[in-house]
Structure 1
């Protein structure tokens, strides 16, 4: 969720039309940026607002409007859902490239997301889980393409406004993420109930869609282009294969249901295994490609180090909406300096810290570079892993302080989120950069989707731990084990940095 921390630059000459009259701009940028900014802000508002309530709704007793699941199952469902969102970004990009183009794909994705949120608002467990599936599919379509559309607004890749445009766009992400728990979380935890909060998330997505449709005339024509359209024969073949796999899935799950085994836990385990297997298959397929040069194979091997490190990082980081949310609800005082607040408000700390610290981190790397002391990519990954491990070390202490039913001060979680955010700003932007640098030429456009698979893998590992450990996943032992694992992984990245550097070839 990190923004790209760079300076804003405005090219005033581009604001003049061919006839000499000034065109409307958005802070000196193409007008379409405002459309994409607002669309993404409202989509993130709906996404993070729903996510702030998700695990709380899953574990809340029936008499309090929830599904009454145990904490471990609720947390595992949350982890698997998050994993599927990032997994589906891979086919989302493919659909844009081969079938619909970015503009149409984002529109369809937004409609599916909105439908999913309103399905969550229906007080029935079946519609709820169907709604989660809709949101995951829609997010995969939208997430994979809306950032690409920002790039389309700047046909000249050397346009000095380009980086500034992405900075403004990513600020929209964090504004939506910051406001969502404060608004949707408050409503969902009020007497109005969780379903009203889910409906409010749907309204947020509806506002984003309305803005998108009304402002679509300001978008680049390139966003409507299908970059690699399928032939009629390819479409027919794809449809045939798609129907075959759909029929096979329906038959399989139908048989499981008839046998009486189609439970929430069974589906969660199935999706967890799928989320772990697919990244392995993707890497194996690319690694065996005979078109890759020896140098590209070496770089791909080096990238696996970063991929595994990122998966460990996201395994812990993405528990902010599950493990930490449950700790906030059950073990943390909801009062600070005499002010009472809902537990979902903790979810706003991360985007708040990002907006405050991203410019500081950007300045730090530049300052270190000028002094020839900028850490290597492997070292930055090591620092990020150490920090995320340290955050669970803090959680171990907080959990110990909460023993015996004591409600601990909110400052514990405030510190945990601060440490995690610094870790994110150390690892995530660098990970995006190294992904593009180490990508084999043949797979340059697919590597960003592969980076998202690290999130999928990490969340699936978290789901395994949560399902295997049961309610013990929310314990000092669990926090200690996961924190130590991340810390050791960080140390390994630093110790083996020269080996990783050698595999990276000419990439620095």
Structure 2
């Protein structure tokens, strides 16, 4: 998911002092160049490492990998991805209560860089510690950097605002496009850990230019929106220390008794990735301070949340299940040119850059003729397309039966169908999330949207652990594809009911 959404906080940011004037960045505030480059290099490190992650996990020890089974490797990948989006929720809270957006992004970037360099150390313990740091740092950075883009435009009606976010998203997808080409090549053809080190170096470059260009950012990015009183900080630190201590003691006992396996990490984190989003949604829905209209809107939003979770459950397997298929069953040769299997990870961002303007133009053109599909219909289209992509994968698996290697065009088509589905669902989901947010939860709703990714990836992790290597079989693709198709038809069938719950939101 290369696109990073505009946070609710950025949409609703109050007027502030304008950023320093002077030279501009394509007619935009100079600070946009700083944030553009920071996010580009962060995405370079994130997607470069992600292109290698599952391949390294399942590669035989003799070839420098960790030698995990396919099911375990896929589950580790899914849990890691789920944590990245789960931690975006507290990442926004830390900015609001402690550090402010600018400092939080800086600290998040440093934590990410350290995590990547830990991956470069050839030891399983440091590897998983590095993954944890990258997830933590990504949560801090992801939750706040889009907000800082919004801070550059104090006037919410500034006509440059949408264009600024468009340029920002271009940086995201540029980083995501080049990362597998560079890091994937080095990691697969030279050394896994050198590839991970390249990801750390990319983040270091992003941090350097962030520090050098920070003077161009808006003063509002230094503001701590709702500082946590000192009287409450001590209690919070005690709770954190207590839970951390309990976790350390628990895992010390597990290791000390010789019972430890990677499952002791995967299963608890998977459960957390499902339980926490459910608890957050239930608490919000039962809030008695909300009026009937807001509760109805949240009920309608549950449809979109569930649909998005199913969508991301399949979509996020692009870097895991499809990556393994690309390595094991795809002829990585086209027109006589050989390339590493990780290069397939560059297809999605280039498709996005090519097709996003086309899809945006299509919605506008349909709206002019009063034929623009509603939010529920667009979600249904996205679900049907993501389900259909796994239908194509079933055909590819059939073509690869008996150990044959299929044409890379199979995966090119799968990624194309998934990208069109993403463009139908993801931007619409971001928009409806901000529009449905009750006033009390305006700043939290974008974090709720991220939680749909967490749930989807956590459910995938459960299936991957239960099914093991058979998760890569035809039956698994058929079940998941059918689930997405049924969900799409359900949303389409009940679209009028959903529309009624949304009230005045369209």
Q: Which range is displaced more, 150-159 or 260-269?
A: 260-269
Distance in 2, matches of 1:79 and 1:58, equals 12
> Is the 8 Å Cα contact of residues 19 and 216 (structure 2) preserved in structure 1?
no
The one of 340, 343, 346 equivalent to 2:341 is 343
Q: Cα RMSD (Å) of the superposition?
A: 1.4
Gaps of 5+ in 1: 6-15
- Secondary structure class of the residue paired with 1:309: helix
Deviation at 1:115, TM superposition (A): 0.3
Structure 1 residue 119 corresponds to structure 2 residue 118: yes
Query: Residues 316-365 of structure 1: CA distance to partner in whole angstroms, max 9, x if unpaired?
Result: 00000000000000000011111111101100000000000000000000
Q: Residues 17 and 493 from structure 1, CA distance in 2 versus in 1: closer, same or farther, beyond 3 angstroms?
A: closer
Pair 1:229 & 2:227 matched: yes
Shift of 1:263: 1.2
Contact (CA 8 Å) 2:5, 2:146: kept in 1 or not? Answer: no
Q: In the alignment, what sits opposite 1:27?
A: 26
Residues of 1 paired with 2:416 and 2:19: CA distance? 46
Counterpart Cα distance in 2 of 1:206 and 1:260: 38
Paired residues for 1:160-175 under 5 Å: 160-175=159-174
| Runs of 4+ displaced beyond 4 Å | none
Report the count of equivalent residues.
Answer: 494
Alpha-carbon distance between aligned partners in 1 of 2:416 and 2:37, rounded to the nearest angstrom: 27
The answer to whether structure 1 residue 55 and structure 2 residue 54 are counterparts is: yes
Q: Deviations over 1:358-394 (max 9, x none)?
A: 0000000000001111111001000000000000000
Equivalent in the alignment of 2:131 = 132
1:254: Cα distance to partner?
Answer: 2.2
Distance 1:111 1:2 in 2: 22
The CA deviation at 1:4 is 8.1
Aligned to 1:153: 152
Contact 1:3 1:358 in 2 (8 A): no
CA contact (8 A) 1:305 1:500 kept: yes
Shift of 1:239: 1.2
Within 1, Cα distance between the matches of 2:104 and 2:412? 38
Structure 1 residues 52-131: aligned runs within 5 Å = 52-131=51-130
2:274, 2:267 → 1: CA distance? 11
2-structure distance, mates of 1:450, 1:92: 13
Is residue 317–residue 420 contact of structure 1 (8 Å, CA) maintained in 2? yes
Instruction: Determine if contact 1:307/1:451 at 8 Å carries over to the other structure.
Output: yes
- Counterpart residue number, 2:267: 269
TM-score (normalised: structure 2): 0.96
* Contact in 1 for aligned 2:42/2:202 (Cα 8 Å): yes
Which string of whole-angstrom CA distances, capped at 9 and with x for unpartnered residues, describes residues 374-417 of structure 1? 11100100000000000000000000100000000000000000
1:157-306 residue pairs with structure 2 within 5 A? Answer: 157-190=156-189, 192-306=190-304
Does the 8 Å CA contact 1:3/1:171 hold for their aligned counterparts?
A: no
Candidates 464, 467, 475, aligned match of 2:465: 467
Residue 12 of structure 1 corresponds to none
Q: Which runs of 5 or more structure 2 residues have no equivalent in the other structure?
A: 7-17
Moved more, 460-469 or 309-318: 460-469
What displacement does 1:237 show?
1.6
1:211-252 deviation per Cα after TM superposition (whole angstroms, max 9, x unaligned): 100001111110011000011101112112211222222222
How is 1:360-379 mapped onto 2 (pairs within 5 angstroms)? 360-379=358-377
Q: In 2 relative to 1, CA 174–498 (structure 1 residues): closer, same or farther, beyond 3 Å?
A: same
Contact 2:5–2:430 (CA under 8 A) maintained in structure 1? no
- State the Cα distance separating 1:3 from its structure 2 match: 7.1
Moved more, 365-374 or 282-291: 282-291
Is 1:387 equivalent to 2:416 in the alignment? no
Say which is worse superposed, 327-336 or 263-272, in terms of deviation. 263-272
Distance 1:363 1:241 in 2: 50
CA distance in 2, matches of 1:127, 1:243: 22
Would the alpha carbon gap of residues 3 and 125 (structure 1) be closer, same or farther in structure 2, given more than 3 Å must change? Answer: closer
CA shift, 1:269, in A, is: 1.0
For the 8 Å contact 1:181–1:347, the answer to whether it is kept is yes
Cα gap change, 1:17/1:103 in structure 2, threshold over 3 Å: closer, same or farther? closer
Work out the CA distance in 2 between the residues paired with 1:494 and 1:420.
Answer: 19
Distance (whole Å) between structure 2 residues aligned to residue 299 and residue 393 of structure 1: 34
